Amino acid sequence: MTFIAKPRVELPNEPVNAIGLRLRDYEGVGSTLCAGCGHDSITAAIIQAFWELSLRPERVIKLSGIGCSSKTPAYFISGAHGFNSVHGRMPSVATGALAANRDLVCIGVSGDGDSLSIGFGQFGHAVRRNLNMLYIIENNGVYGLTKGQFSASADPGSKAKRGEVNQMQCIDAAETAIALGGAFAARSFSGDREQLVPLIKAGISHPGCAVLDVVSPCVTFNDHEGSTKSYAYTREHYAPAVQTDYIPRAEQITAEYEEGQTLPVTMHDGSTLLLRKVDAEYDPTDRSAVLRYLEAHRSRGEVVTGLLFINEDLPEMHEIAGTRQGALTALPFETLNPGSAALAELQRRMR
């Protein structure tokens, strides 16, 4: 098997973005996932969001772990360098990449198995380090690639395809990120492109670790009656708490919004997020209130979505470390090497 090249059909009058690229310039190779897999919809949303953001493909790096979800970086932005790492360890590779070159735009794609079991530690530490990346967890409640075992995000009471009922507690990625002190936690659904695209953009703009937990049904192993990660269940229990409009830096905010109902958040890159509250009481900047809200709704089986929590001011990894602005890789060797005279001087103290 080789990778599948997509047929390139020229379409006249295809729209282009601000840097003259077409939507298809943000595509990758053809997907080999099961038809109807939620992950493919997320890929489409990523393509849409990056195209709309008009990011140069070569500025982007896309990383993943192992799993069906982790295969997807091959399916978007073929002009970006990609890194399909080992199971559960994408965050460390992303840490190194951004340590070397903080100017890169980093998107990491992971699965619920990849991030909440084998990679739980690395997930937590990417959040703790506040690594400047968009961290997407394509959450289907199972290990798709190893054929449908329960993952750590399976809800208690959720039924497996063969009838087994999960009795262990569920690890909620978004809640965990908030509890760990994360600066950006969102949840969405692969079936809600309208919500997903602005969340992806917001996550890219956010200067820190943006965790985006996306319910993404596995049609092959977890889309049946009794599953709490199926299309049907998710649609039925879907409870958006906030809707996000992403307004790029250059654009005027034209929409009228009601004070109290809509919360504008100005991002460090000059863009603005308009958070429209579906539930008027929801305050995405109050950490303990958010956790309380999420817990209350979770106990009712509801899937609360939206930009659940945001704190634009937490310092990211390089700010904490005091690293120079700009990529370390841009430094010439002459700057890095102290030279023979310095070495001689240093050694005077070693005798």
Ligand X SMILES: Cc1ncc(C[n+]2csc(CCOP(=O)(O)OP(=O)(O)O)c2C)c(N)n1
Spatial CA neighbour of 191 closest among 347, 44, 30? 44
Q: How far is the CB of 321 from other proteins (least distance, A)?
A: 6
String marking each residue 52-81 x if it binds other proteins according to CB under 8 A: ----xxxx-x-x---------xx---xxxx
Q: Which is nearer to ligand SF4, 142 or 274 (CB)?
A: 142
User: With CB cut-offs between 5 and 8 Å by kind, which of other proteins, ligand X, Mg ion, none does residue 146 bind?
Assistant: ligand X
What is the number of other CB atoms lying within 10 angstroms of the CB of residue 5? 9
The reply to whether 16 sits near other proteins by the rule CB under 8 A is no
User: Binding other proteins by CB under 8 A: which of 104, 200, 218, 265?
Assistant: 104
The reply to whether 342 sits near other proteins by the rule CB under 8 A is yes
DSSP bridge pairs for 243: 276
Q: How far is the CB of 203 from ligand SF4 (least distance, A)?
A: 22
Q: Which is nearer to other proteins, 84 or 262 (CB)?
A: 84
Report yes or no: 127 and 211 within 8 Å, Cβ to Cβ. yes
Q: Taking contact as CB under 8 A, which single stretch among the options 109-117, 119-127, 132-140, 152-160 is the one that binds other proteins?
A: 119-127
Specify the DSSP class assigned to residue 259.
Answer: B
The residues of the shown chain that bind ligand SF4, judged by CB under 6 A, are 33-34, 37, 39, 68, 140, 144-145, 218-221
Task: State residue 91 phi and psi, 5-degree precision.
Answer: -60, -35
Specify the DSSP class assigned to residue 296.
Answer: H
CA gyration radius, the chain? 21
Residue type for 216, please? S
Q: Mind spelling out the 3-state secondary structure of 158-208? A: CECCCCCECCCCCCCHHHHHHHCCCCEEEEEECCCHHHHHHHHHHHHHCCC
Residue type for 191, please? G
CA distance 101 to 97: 6
User: With CB cut-offs between 5 and 8 Å by kind, which of ligand SF4, other proteins, ligand X, none does residue 260 bind?
Assistant: none
Q: Which is nearer to ligand SF4, 1 or 341 (CB)?
A: 1
Q: Give contact residues for other proteins (rule: CB under 8 A).
A: 1-3, 56-59, 61, 63, 73-74, 78-86, 89, 91-101, 103-104, 121-122, 124-125, 129, 317-318, 321-325, 327-329, 331, 333, 335-340, 342-344, 346-347, 349-351
